Structure 1
Amino acid sequence: MSKRLFYLRGVPDDEAGEIRELLDREGLAWYETPPSPWGISHGALWLSDAADYGRAKALLDDYQRQRGEQARSEHARAKREGNAQTFAQLLRERPAFVLITLGAILFIVVLTLALPWLLLR
């Protein structure tokens, strides 16, 4: 019986490709379900044999740990070199985006705090 290994929602194409290659390299039988045309499902990678799940999950956990370490080291390097984007840089580059986002956050916070008070009066 099949077992879902990995949802593809929000997964970059390069990461999904590397995971497909990892599964192939390790000789694990897998298949992919495509995303739905209406955006309800974003697709997933499935193992054909549920008995392989423990091994595949361990491989996936190790891969994600390595990828996380690589991303953290790249970010630390960018910070050392002064290339990491800061809030001030984002505000200078995209002021409308930042102000609209902050306004939306403020609106949600005010609504969350005021709505119960207004409804309970």
Structure 2
Amino acid sequence: MARLLFKLAQVPDDEAQEIRTILDEHQIHYYETDAGFFRVGLDAIWLADGTQEERARELIREYQAERAVRQQQNYAQLVEAGQVPSVWQHFCAQPIRFIAVALGIMFVAGLTLIPFVMLLRNA
């Protein structure tokens, strides 16, 4: 029976390709599905045979742990080099968008808090 191994929704292409490569190197047989034209399906990697599931999951866990360390080191290097933009730099780059997002957040927060404020007024 087929087993869902790894969902590919919002996974970077390089990560998905590396997982495919790992599975191929360890001779784990898999197949992929996509969500289709209307995006009602599931982008995923499936195992045709459930007997290899534990091995495949362990390989993916090891890979993701290594990838997390690599990405954290990469981010730290970008921060040290000053290539990670600050809030002020984001504002300067796109001030109208920044203000619109901030106003949107305040609007949603206000709508969310109205029932609680009304309860406090009536208490």
Fold match (TM-score > 0.5): yes
TM-score, reference length from structure 2: 0.88
The secondary structure found in structure 1 opposite 2:111 is helix
**How far, CA to CA, are the matches of 1:57 and 1:46 in structure 2?**
11
The secondary structure found in structure 2 opposite 1:4 is strand
Aligned residues: 120
**How far, CA to CA, are the matches of 2:111 and 2:33 in structure 1?**
39
Match of 1:29 in 2: 29
Question: Which one-letter code corresponds to 2:90 in the other structure?
Answer: L
Percent identical among aligned pairs is 32
**How far, CA to CA, are the matches of 1:40 and 1:95 in structure 2?**
36
What are the residue-to-residue correspondences of 1:40-119 with 2, within 5 Å? 40-115=40-115
Q: Per-residue deviation at 1:46? A: 0.4
The secondary structure found in structure 1 opposite 2:90 is helix
How large is the Cα RMSD of the aligned pairs?
1.7
**How far, CA to CA, are the matches of 2:111 and 2:92 in structure 1?**
29
Q: Per-residue deviation at 1:117? A: 5.6
Question: Which one-letter code corresponds to 2:80 in the other structure?
Answer: R
**How far, CA to CA, are the matches of 1:41 and 1:118 in structure 2?**
43
Segments ≥4 residues shifted beyond 6 Å = none
TM-score, reference length from structure 1: 0.89
**How far, CA to CA, are the matches of 2:62 and 2:24 in structure 1?**
16
**How far, CA to CA, are the matches of 1:89 and 1:79 in structure 2?**
14
Question: Which one-letter code corresponds to 2:15 in the other structure?
Answer: E
Bigger Rg over Cα: 2
